[in-house]
Amino acid sequence: MKLHVRAARLYSAWLGLLLLSSGWVHLGSSMEVMVQPYVVKLNGTSAKLTCTFNSCYEVNEKRFSLNWTYFECENCTQDLFVHFRRKVIIPRTDQFSGRVEWSGNLNKNDVSVTIHDIQLTDEGFYNCSVLNPPDRHNGWGLIFLKVVTEVPPERDSTVAVIIGASVGGFLAVIILILVIVKCVRRKKKQDHQSEDQKTEEEGKTDGEGNQEEDGRQH
């Protein structure tokens, strides 16, 4: 029993570190992007790359931008295969030609894509980068896609699923709290700037009025 408990604790710690360090959520200065960091798919099947985001502002399709890029290794060149500029654009690429499908919904802050007929050459890193002005900084999430040629044997993963769900739920709550706190602070900052600007304008108006009165007295 002690061995099972210890194994569960080690797995929980490992899973938490994996989710945080592998880009499950990127806590940027403006936006939070959530992805599944590690995806395993069978060669010849379809792979949905899930990417959602949180922002303090409503999505404006005229200003919102999205880039999905692929790179085989850490220092390899990134290839753009989906982007959003007023609409979803899927460029023709040699690698993904005719195999990429938009699976997102901007009304739900979802920018997911699906790649059909996965090939061994599709294995690598996929970066989901979004910018939702007036946010000044983009948010991003990194996914590693592993392509296998045979389905791995099934194992009893009940404990792993329970622990994974618990850790995921805990992180989701933390993310929600961070987003709310950040949005409240940003709103207060904007209100403070508006008050300062209003006071400055009133000061200029009063100054101009005093000048006019002095001119009349002379």
The predicted pLDDT at position 121 comes to 95
202 part of a folded domain = no
143, two tokens:
């996914």
Cα(128)–Cα(39) distance, integer angstroms: 14
Cα(182)–Cα(197) distance, integer angstroms: 22
The predicted pLDDT at position 172 comes to 53
Given a cut of 90, whether residue 47 has pLDDT beyond it is yes
205 or 5, which is more confident: 205
183-190: average pLDDT: 64
* Number of compact structural domains in the chain: 1
The predicted pLDDT at position 11 comes to 38
Q: Which of 30-39, 77-86, 146-155 has the lowest mean pLDDT?
A: 146-155
What is the pLDDT of the chain when averaged over all its residues?
Answer: 76
77 part of a folded domain = yes
pLDDT digits (tens, 9 = 90+) for 127-160: 999 999 988 888 999 999 999 998 767 665 555 5
Any long-range contacts for 105-112 (C-beta under 8 Å, 24+ apart)? 106/59, 106/61, 106/64, 107/59, 108/52, 109/52, 109/53, 109/54, 109/55, 109/59, 110/50, 110/51, 110/52, 111/51, 111/52, 111/53, 111/66, 111/68, 111/84, 112/48, 112/49, 112/50, 112/51, 112/52
106 part of a folded domain = yes
178 part of a folded domain = no
143 part of a folded domain = yes
pLDDT band at residue 188, thresholds of 50, 70 and 90? low
Given a cut of 50, whether residue 20 has pLDDT beyond it is no
74 part of a folded domain = yes
The predicted pLDDT at position 179 comes to 59
- Least Cα distance to 49 among 144, 150, 167 occurs for 144
Q: Which of 56-60, 144-148, 175-179, 188-192 has the lowest mean pLDDT?
A: 175-179
Is this prediction's pTM over 0.75? Answer: no
The predicted pLDDT at position 197 comes to 63
Domain ranges, residue 10 = 2-156
The predicted pLDDT at position 75 comes to 85
118-127: average pLDDT: 96
147 part of a folded domain = yes
97 part of a folded domain = yes
Given a cut of 90, whether residue 44 has pLDDT beyond it is yes
Q: Which CATH number is 88's domain given?
A: 2.60.40.10
10, two tokens:
């080690």
The predicted pLDDT at position 163 comes to 54
Distances (CA, A) of 25 to 16, 85, 173: 11, 24, 12
The predicted pLDDT at position 136 comes to 83
The predicted pLDDT at position 13 comes to 41
Cα(184)–Cα(52) distance, integer angstroms: 21
pLDDT digits (tens, 9 = 90+) for 192-218: 666 666 666 666 555 555 555 555 555
| Residues whose CB is less than 8 angstroms from the CB of residue 142 and which lie 6 or more positions away in sequence, other chains included | 22, 23, 26, 35, 37, 125, 126, 127, 128
User: To the nearest whole percent, how much of the chain has pLDDT over 90?
Assistant: 46
Cα(84)–Cα(16) distance, integer angstroms: 32
